[in-house]
Structures are given as C-alpha cells and as structure tokens.
Amino acid sequence: MTELATDPRKISREAPQYNATLIRREDETESLCYVWVRFDGDPTPFDAGQYMTIGVIADERLVQRPYSVASPPHVAGSDGYEFYVRLVNGGQFTPLLWRLPVGHPMRMIGPKGKFLLEPDDERTHIFISSGTGNAPFVAMMRHLLKEGGPRPVVFLNGVSYERDLGYRSLVEGWERSREYPVTYIPTVSRPKDPANASWTGRTGRVESILPSVLDELRLTPDNSIAYICGNPDMIISAEETLLARGYPEAQVKKELYWPKGKEPRGAAAA
C-alpha cells in the first residue's frame, strides 16, 4: 500500500543514478501538479510530444515512470522539462513524487516516443485528451508558437471536475488573444457533482462529445488529423468514432498512458 500519508518508503537523497533535480513544483489541486525537472548537466534534445522517464530511489530501488513533456524543447536547458502529473493513490511512483521537496535530486532518462507532429501539416489538428493527457499537446502548441508556425487546433480535454482542467488559463488565453488559432473545448463528466456547480460548458466524457464536435466544426478526414492521449478506454472509443467517419488509421495518432484493463483504484480520470 502506498497511500500518501502512510507511505513508509525511505527516499534516498544521494545515489549514483541521480542526474537531475526537481527545480520547481506548482499544485493545481490536491492530486494534480506541475513539476519541472532539469538535468544537472546538458539538456537532452527532444521533439514536442515525446516523454521522459523520471524516478527516485526508494528503499534502495529505482522507482520511475514515463511522463509526456509539456514544455517546449528550447527551454530544457533553462527551465527544465515540465510535467503535468496526477497522483495515483496506491500507485508506486506518484506518492513518492508528492513527498519530494523542490531541490531533491532525481533520475531522468529519455526522450522516447513517436507521438509526434507530422512535418508541414496545415490540416486542423484535433487534440483529444483525458485528464493529464493534455500535456503533450501543450508542448506541441508551445513549440509551434516558438517556431512561428502555429497550426489550427481544436483542443478537447475531458475531466471529472472543472478544477481538474490543467492549462486552462493558458489555452483560453491563447484562444482569446488569438495568439494561437485554437478552439478550446473542455468537458466535465460529472456535471451534477456539487464541485461542478458553476460549470456552464459541455458535459459528458470527451469521447461522447467528439461526434457533435466533428459535426459542428465540419471536421472530416479531408481537412483534419487527430491526436488522442490519455486513458486507454477513451482512446479506443474516440478512435472508433474517427475510423467510422473515414479517417485512415495513419491519421489517428495515439498515446496510451496505461494498458487497457489496468484501471486505477478509485477510478480517477487520466
């Protein structure tokens, strides 16, 4: 059992495997936070959409997990690599991460992953995410902005509660100022919960609102490409919708955060 308050594992402060440092942390809620990890030496280049694996030594074992990078590649040497992480109660690594003070050494390796933007793609990009699955899309948009070539994006993010909408102010700010051509479509799956009392936006799981979004925005295989990231059930369902509408498989890119069938205890969204 690795519940946060009772986790007895001893985290090592020193270890030969450590090559990076937790340099910053910001909490979005009690169970969602942004962390920044920087290599102690030179940064490793990566492409927006890829992930790094971060870990610490606990009870003399390296405990590590992969996380999509949310920051753009060009700031890796200064700001480090930004991650948006959900605490999984009963999980192995995230309860350790939650206990880690800023300044603590860590192990970081990578990059890995093929969840990447196509070169020179002018089609509308449909970014479909559940929970923290929005992280690689934030990296992609930040990178495209830096490169001076933002591509049109329809950005769907599904969460249980309004408060879990990470990066909301960033993306809404882009949309409002038109700094980035994005249509932001957040949705909450538990509209009747008192925590969502002030919510006036879309309701339902992200995969369930996808058909109406495609219809309303007239998105078709001829004018768009889809990227899906997060919870495996959501990904499978969203992919079915897209394939049924004629999107070729190569036009539906996927990043699964865990294998299908391994649901979290307490059933949190990704």
Task: Give the residues lining the site for ligand FAD (CB under 6 A).
Answer: 51, 65-68, 83-86, 88, 91-94, 113, 131-132, 135, 255, 257-258, 262-264, 268, 270
Nearest distance in Å: CB 85, ligand FAD: 4
| Nearest of 77, 180, 165, 88 to residue 125 by alpha carbon | 180
88 or 108, CB closer to ligand FAD? 88
Nearest distance in Å: CB 74, ligand FAD: 19
- β-pairing verdict for 182-188 and 51-58: unpaired
CA distances from 135 to 128, 148, 187, 196 (A): 11, 20, 16, 23
Q: Angle 187-192-195 (CA atoms, 0-180°, nearest 5)?
A: 80
43 or 264, CB closer to ligand FAD? 264
Nearest distance in Å: CB 5, ligand FAD: 15
| Nearest of 212, 215, 210 to residue 226 by alpha carbon | 210
19 or 53, CB closer to ligand FAD? 53
Query: Residue of minimal CB distance from ligand FAD?
Result: 91
Nearest distance in Å: CB 202, ligand FAD: 21
Nearest distance in Å: CB 178, ligand FAD: 27
Nearest distance in Å: CB 153, ligand FAD: 18
CA distances from 195 to 12, 86, 191, 198 (A): 38, 18, 8, 8
201 or 258, CB closer to ligand FAD? 258
Q: Is 111 in contact with 69 (CB distance < 8 Å)?
A: yes
Distance CA 262, CA 185 (A): 27
205 or 224, CB closer to ligand FAD? 205
150 or 232, CB closer to ligand FAD? 232
CA distances from 32 to 15, 27, 104, 182, 194 (A): 27, 6, 19, 24, 19
